[in-house]
Every structure is written in structure tokens, then in C-alpha cells.
Amino acid sequence: MKRLIPVVLTLVVSVAAVPALAADLSGKWTADGKYVFTFDRAGDQFTGAVTGEDGKVYRIADGTIDGDAISFFVVHESDWDSEVQENGGKAFRNTAKGTVTGDEMSFSGSREGTDIHPYSVTIHRMKNQ
């Protein structure tokens, strides 16, 4: 029994030291087909794009993932973007913070540093990519 205690303690410490595995969010996701989110993961960071049904693309930047917690920005920087036009032609970012569970991702946010255009959405991994 005395020999077993150090082995058990070593196992417990080893398991506790292993970082939580980050959720796999690579691929395409959508809520209703109107917007398609494409994520590319590199370790605990990711980038990507949001493509609207009109084909216009918004860049995803500064994405991080820690276990099932995610955060990222959707960048509005194009002249054709009506929200950029409404913002006096100035680029801005929308925040997104939430969680990933299997094939479901829920997040919410608003325009960075403001409460303009608050939103909340749940998207699902697209089966046929």
C-alpha cells in the first residue's frame, strides 16, 4: 500500500498538469445559411472569415480558444460595408465571446467598446463542407 500511494499521487499530478484540450472548430459553420463562418485553427488561436449570402466576406481576427471558451473579432473594414459607411467610413470590429460544444457554437457581442448592435447567435458545424 505504501508503494501504491506515490504512484497514485504521480498519476493525479500528471493528469492535473495536462492542459484542457481545446475544442475543434475548424471548418464551416452556419445558423441559417445566410452567413457562413469558416475557421482555420493554429494551436490555441484561429482566424477565418464570414461570408454573407451576397458573397461579401468579413475577416475574422485575433481568435483564441481555451478549452471550450472562444473569442474573436469580425472586422468591418471595406468601403462597400454599409455599417462602415454608417460609421463615417471608419473601420471597426465586432466582438464575439462564447463557447463551443461539439458541433454547436454559441457566442454574443457588439461593436467593440460600445453597446451598438448587440447580438447573440448559435451556429452549427455544416455537415457537407
CA distance linking residue 68 with residue 48, whole number of Å = 18
User: What is the torsion angle, in degrees rounded to the nearest 10, for the CA atoms of residue 36, residue 41, residue 44 and residue 49?
Assistant: -40
Within-domain flag for 2:
no
Within-domain flag for 11:
no
Within-domain flag for 98:
yes
Candidates 35, 128, 122; CA nearest to 70 is: 122
Question: What are the residue ranges in the chain where pLDDT is below 70?
Answer: 1-22, 129
Within-domain flag for 72:
yes
- CA–centroid distance for 94 within its chain: 12
CA distance linking residue 107 with residue 129, whole number of Å = 22
Which range marks the domain in which residue 27 is found?
21-125
Question: How much is the pLDDT for 37?
Answer: 95
Question: How much is the pLDDT for 22?
Answer: 61
Predicted structure pTM score: 0.77
C-alpha cell at 13: 499530478
| Number of compact structural domains in the chain | 1
Question: How much is the pLDDT for 128?
Answer: 75
Question: How much is the pLDDT for 114?
Answer: 92
